[in-house]
């Protein structure tokens, strides 16, 4: 699609290119030590250092600290996502933000293109999540940034949502456990992490406009969409980004309930909230609702905020609170104390970081079906045909939008599998064109056909349906008819309708697997790595099965399915999906046995142990999953995931594994008390290796009903429901005309989408490996 220049300008910051920002002022340690800035290099607690700094700040200093430096229509350049200016007089370094959740974005090069977050979540591996976060932190810092705009912790409510590949799955337990590990990884590198997007951000259509409204009941909001923030807050996440949608009629970036009452009150968040880019719609209301930092521009939080302070419509204490919340994590991550290093042009990818990407891609690829075809045996695989443009020039290592990452180069399936054929002396042929008859002819004579199909998903635009392209569907049907030994590989950001692949013997979901796509795929197909991914989302059997299938739900915004999102919906409705949440195959087999629910511990948790055994002949990993029911009497609570572990075992090996259900795990949100409550009674516990295969059963008996969280505090005195009056909104939109235009542009893009982005500096091609010497299949 060609984008008109004016619109292109308006849309650019949305995702693709980075914003031009003011120059950062580095504070070398030596200078800092001599400077009149006692908060620099101090060993005092961060809160004390922040208080000292605050006492030295003028109104101008404070105002400068609560907004970004970019003018909305400034020219764009490859310089991060945005910046809060440095303040040389007070030795405050610039706060420089970079996207995003899948590695360094903003059109940067020389970075590691990690697999998409959905692939990380499919690993169900906390340690890999920490390593993934550490790569992001390290590379952000190498690029001169100190604020990473991730992890994204939106719940994957519908596979048609444009940012589904950035989502971490359909279950809050899985999402929060891995996001905590990723956050620790990012923050271990001295970089602030940002959990996003608060709250109930489940679609792109109408985003950032008045029409984009998530209507969600309180219990669902708490148990599903807000719950991941609680663990992130407890883990010390530095910042939280508000979202483009409205929550029950109020723009998220001026919503008192989610930002102040829940996040800062109920959950005790000490860091700062930051607006999504051009996601603000108000100044006074945002400040009073709890939004601390405007990004990337200054319109609402410069002159407008000064006026509001002068008119006493925003209290000076509130401005102090905003600044304190921003500088405290900067002290905690050492941002004040180290010389600013790194530049946007630096090459930051390393061999070690690429290895993390490969490990995640391998562990996150889910083997959905295998009728004895995989792993391929080089002795019997004497000829191989690789089909599909996504095996070559259209290979997708990354999704689109602000989570897009540009690899140096992508090793394609075509290259890796042709090299494999050369290595094993097999003959090799390929076809990346669109004609089903030619694809079938190529596949027919081969011992094995591998078909790679793809679907590009991107921020800014939802998908209409779950279908693969017509070409991919026809090619799949033709090839699977022509060759019974067909492997289908999905290079997609979300579940798709896999019925055209029904004739295949093996099916894998590789998601967007990052820069070493082909290498990892060859390792998996030939069994050098054993698949261990488990689905973090349900694959529906048809679009009609989706919890939000009705248009008023998606993209209409009515979350009437309530808690019944993902596997909870299929259980509630008695539907059989194509592939269940938590499922995934291996080249070996496992057994689970001897479940014991231990006595309740002093903290109210129950240990749940079982024996896991590798009953096959290969080393491999499995993921025992623990689910719990509420006792009879707690209305409409579906069975839900509470804990899991990723266990690696040698053939024949076994291990006693202990999972835990905490008191909070057994709780539900009580709307009459505005808090979590653990109900007395028998809570059934289930363990198995997917949400639909739970052979082991136990019980946690809870003697008395108790509260397990603080109650949501009431809205602070004087705050409104969140929105400014109609008159004030009009005034804001007038004063922040450019910002308003940008916000409108963001909404507009949700209908038309944006052009596809570059996958790699050296674009993938249909060229096979130069080392391939195998003879061609006729």
Cβ-Cβ contacts under 8 Å for 730 (sequence gap 6 or more): none
Q: Are 611 and 667 in contact (CB under 8 A)?
A: no
We find the least distance from the C-beta atom of residue 117 to ligand BGC, in angstroms, to be: 12
**223 φψ region: left (φ > 0), alpha (ψ -120 to 50), beta (else):** alpha
Interactions with ligand BGC, residue window 267-286 (CB under 6 A): 276-277
Q: Does 81 bind ligand BGC (CB under 6 A)?
A: yes
We find the least distance from the C-beta atom of residue 286 to ligand BGC, in angstroms, to be: 17
Catalytic, 594? Answer: no
- What single-letter DSSP state applies at residue 116? P
We find the least distance from the C-beta atom of residue 400 to ligand BGC, in angstroms, to be: 11
**581 φψ region: left (φ > 0), alpha (ψ -120 to 50), beta (else):** beta
Query: What mask, x for binding ligand BGC by CB under 6 A, covers residues 209 to 228?
Result: --------------------
Which pair of tokens denotes residue 103?
């590695």
What CA–CA distance (Å, rounded) separates 90 from 86?
A: 9
We find the least distance from the C-beta atom of residue 557 to ligand BGC, in angstroms, to be: 17
Q: Are 750 and 205 in contact (CB under 8 A)?
A: yes
Q: Are 273 and 293 in contact (CB under 8 A)?
A: yes
We find the least distance from the C-beta atom of residue 371 to ligand BGC, in angstroms, to be: 41
Q: Are 204 and 462 in contact (CB under 8 A)?
A: yes
Cβ-Cβ contacts under 8 Å for 442 (sequence gap 6 or more): 385, 387, 429, 430, 431, 449, 777
Count of residues interacting with ligand BGC (CB under 6 A): 10
Q: Does 103 bind ligand BGC (CB under 6 A)?
A: no
Closer of 494 and 510 to ligand BGC (Cβ): 494
Cα-trace Rg, the chain = 26
What b/e string do you get for 341-350 counting C-beta neighbours within 10 Å, with b at 16 or more?
Answer: ebebeeebbe
Cβ-Cβ contacts under 8 Å for 513 (sequence gap 6 or more): 115, 116, 119, 361, 364, 365, 397, 491, 520, 521
What b/e string do you get for 479-500 counting C-beta neighbours within 10 Å, with b at 16 or more?
Answer: bbebbebbbbbbbbbbbbbbeb
Burial of 73 (0-12, 13-18, 19+ CB in 10 A): middle
How many Cβ atoms sit within 10 Å of the Cβ of residue 310? 10
Q: Does 154 bind ligand BGC (CB under 6 A)?
A: no
**Which residue is catalytic, options 171, 276, 523, 689?**
276
Closer of 338 and 461 to ligand BGC (Cβ): 461
Pairing relation of β-strands 696-702 and 681-688?
Answer: antiparallel
Q: Does 99 bind ligand BGC (CB under 6 A)?
A: yes
DSSP H or E stretch at residue 670: strand 667-670
Closer of 149 and 446 to ligand BGC (Cβ): 149
Note the helical H segments in 550-685: 567-573
We find the least distance from the C-beta atom of residue 533 to ligand BGC, in angstroms, to be: 25
User: Binding residue for ligand BGC (CB under 6 A) from 196, 281, 559, 568?
Assistant: 196
Closer of 166 and 689 to ligand BGC (Cβ): 166
Three-class SS state of 6? helix
We find the least distance from the C-beta atom of residue 120 to ligand BGC, in angstroms, to be: 17
Closer of 149 and 319 to ligand BGC (Cβ): 149
**492 φψ region: left (φ > 0), alpha (ψ -120 to 50), beta (else):** beta
Cβ-Cβ contacts under 8 Å for 69 (sequence gap 6 or more): 21, 22, 82, 83, 84, 85, 296, 298
Question: How far from chain centre, in Å, is Cα 436?
Answer: 35
- Which of 122, 157, 121, 266 minimizes the C-alpha distance to 563? 157
Closer of 99 and 170 to ligand BGC (Cβ): 99
Q: Does 9 bind ligand BGC (CB under 6 A)?
A: no
Cβ-Cβ contacts under 8 Å for 43 (sequence gap 6 or more): none
Closer of 99 and 523 to ligand BGC (Cβ): 99
We find the least distance from the C-beta atom of residue 403 to ligand BGC, in angstroms, to be: 7
Closer of 141 and 196 to ligand BGC (Cβ): 196
Closer of 456 and 640 to ligand BGC (Cβ): 456
User: Binding residue for ligand BGC (CB under 6 A) from 149, 224, 374, 659?
Assistant: 149
- Which of 540, 567, 526, 693 minimizes the C-alpha distance to 622? 693
We find the least distance from the C-beta atom of residue 628 to ligand BGC, in angstroms, to be: 33
Closer of 274 and 694 to ligand BGC (Cβ): 274
Interactions with ligand BGC, residue window 571-630 (CB under 6 A): none
Closer of 279 and 533 to ligand BGC (Cβ): 279
User: Binding residue for ligand BGC (CB under 6 A) from 10, 11, 15, 200?
Assistant: 15
We find the least distance from the C-beta atom of residue 768 to ligand BGC, in angstroms, to be: 37
Which pair of tokens denotes residue 69?
């430096």
Q: Are 658 and 606 in contact (CB under 8 A)?
A: no
User: Binding residue for ligand BGC (CB under 6 A) from 14, 161, 285, 452?
Assistant: 14
We find the least distance from the C-beta atom of residue 15 to ligand BGC, in angstroms, to be: 5
We find the least distance from the C-beta atom of residue 22 to ligand BGC, in angstroms, to be: 17
Q: Does 458 bind ligand BGC (CB under 6 A)?
A: no
Closer of 275 and 415 to ligand BGC (Cβ): 275
User: Binding residue for ligand BGC (CB under 6 A) from 245, 402, 483, 486?
Assistant: 402
What CA–CA distance (Å, rounded) separates 654 from 650?
A: 8
What CA–CA distance (Å, rounded) separates 768 from 383?
A: 15
- Which of 752, 305, 366 minimizes the C-alpha distance to 530? 366
Supply the residues annotated as catalytic. Answer: 276
List interacting residues with ligand BGC (CB under 6 A).
14-15, 81, 99-100, 149, 196, 276-277, 402
């Amino acid at each position: 699609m060609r984008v008109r220049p004016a619109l292109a300008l308006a849309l650019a910051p949305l995702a693709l290119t980075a914003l031009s920002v003011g120059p950062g002022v580095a504070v070398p340690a030596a200078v800092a030590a001599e400077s009149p800035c006692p908060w620099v290099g101090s060993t005092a607690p961060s809160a004390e250092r922040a208080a000292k700094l605050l006492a030295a700040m003028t109104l101008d200093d404070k105002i400068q600290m609560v907004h970004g430096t970019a003018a909305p229509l400034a020219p764009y350049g490859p310089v991060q996502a945005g910046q809060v200016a440095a303040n040389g007089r007070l030795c405050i370094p610039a706060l420089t933000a970079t996207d995003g959740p899948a590695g360094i974005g903003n059109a940067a090069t020389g970075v590691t293109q990690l697999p998409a977050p959905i692939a990380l979540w499919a690993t169900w591996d906390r340690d890999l999540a920490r390593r993934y976060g550490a790569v992001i932190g390290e590379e952000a810092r190498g690029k001169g940034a100190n604020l990473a705009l991730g992890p994204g912790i939106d719940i994957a409510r519908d596979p048609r949502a444009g940012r589904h590949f950035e989502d971490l799955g359909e279950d809050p337990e899985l999402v929060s456990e891995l996001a905590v590990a990723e956050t620790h990884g990012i923050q271990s590198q001295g970089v602030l992490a940002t959990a996003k997007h608060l709250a109930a951000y489940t679609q792109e259509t109408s985003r950032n406009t008045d029409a984009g409204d998530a209507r969600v009941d309180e219990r669902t909001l708490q148990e599903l969409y807000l719950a991941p923030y609680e663990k992130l807050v407890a883990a010390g996440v530095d910042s939280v980004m508000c979202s483009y949608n409205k929550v029950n009629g109020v723009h998220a970036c001026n919503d008192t309930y989610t930002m102040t009452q829940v996040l800062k009150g109920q959950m005790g968040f000490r860091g700062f909230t930051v607006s999504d880019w051009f996601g603000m719609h108000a100044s006074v209301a945002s400040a009073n609702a709890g939004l601390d930092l405007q990004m990337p521009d200054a319109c609402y939080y410069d002159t407008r905020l000064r006026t509001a302070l002068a008119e006493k419509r925003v209290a000076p204490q509130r401005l102090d609170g905003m600044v304190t919340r921003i500088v405290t994590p900067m002290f905690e991550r050492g941002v004040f104390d180290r010389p600013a290093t790194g530049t946007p042009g630096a090459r930051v990818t390393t061999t070690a970081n690429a290895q993390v990407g490969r490990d995640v891609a391998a562990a996150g690829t889910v083997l959905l079906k295998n009728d004895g075809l995989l792993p391929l045996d080089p002795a019997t695989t004497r000829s191989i045909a690789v089909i599909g443009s996504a095996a070559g020039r259209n290979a997708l290592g990354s999704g689109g939008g602000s989570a897009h990452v540009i690899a140096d180069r992508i090793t394609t399936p075509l290259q890796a599998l042709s090299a494999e054929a050369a290595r094993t002396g097999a003959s090799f042929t390929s076809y990346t064109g669109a004609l089903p008859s030619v694809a079938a002819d190529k596949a027919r004579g081969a011992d094995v056909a591998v078909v790679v199909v793809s679907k590009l998903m991107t921020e800014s635009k939802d998908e209409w349906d779950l279908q693969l392209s017509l070409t991919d569907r026809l090619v799949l049907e033709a090839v699977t008819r022509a060759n019974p030994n067909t492997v289908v590989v999905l290079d997609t950001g979300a579940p798709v309708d896999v019925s055209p692949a029904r004739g295949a013997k093996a099916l894998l979901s590789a998601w967007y697997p990052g820069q070493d796509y082909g290498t990892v795929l060859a390792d998996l197909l030939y069994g050098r790595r054993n698949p261990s991914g488990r689905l973090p989302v349900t694959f529906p059997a048809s679009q009609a099965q989706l919890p939000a299938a009705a248009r008023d739900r998606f993209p209409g915004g009515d979350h009437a399915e309530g808690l019944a999102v993902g596997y909870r919906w299929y259980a509630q409705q008695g539907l059989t999906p194509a592939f269940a949440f938590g499922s995934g195959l291996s080249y070996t087999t496992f057994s689970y046995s001897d479940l014991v629910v231990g006595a309740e511990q002093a903290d109210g948790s129950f240990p749940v142990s079982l024996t896991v055994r590798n009953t096959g002949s290969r080393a491999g990993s499995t993921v025992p999953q623990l689910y719990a029911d509420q006792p009879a009497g707690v209305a409409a609570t579906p069975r839900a995931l509470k804990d899991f572990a990723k266990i690696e075992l040698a053939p024949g090996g076994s291990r006693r594994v202990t999972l835990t259900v905490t008191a909070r795990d057994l709780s539900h949100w009580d709307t009459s008390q505005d808090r979590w409550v653990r109900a007395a009674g028998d809570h059934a516990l289930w363990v198995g290796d997917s949400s639909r295969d739970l052979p082991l059963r136990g019980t946690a008996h809870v003697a008395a009903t108790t509260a397990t969280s603080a109650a949501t505090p009431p809205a602070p005195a004087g705050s409104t429901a969140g929105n400014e009056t109609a008159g004030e909104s009009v005034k804001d939109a007038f004063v922040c005309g450019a910002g308003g235009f940008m916000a409108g542009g963001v909404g507009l893009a949700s209908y038309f989408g944006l052009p596809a982005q570059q996958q790699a500096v050296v674009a993938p091609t249909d060229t096979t490996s130069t080392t391939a010497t195998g003879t061609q299949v006729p």
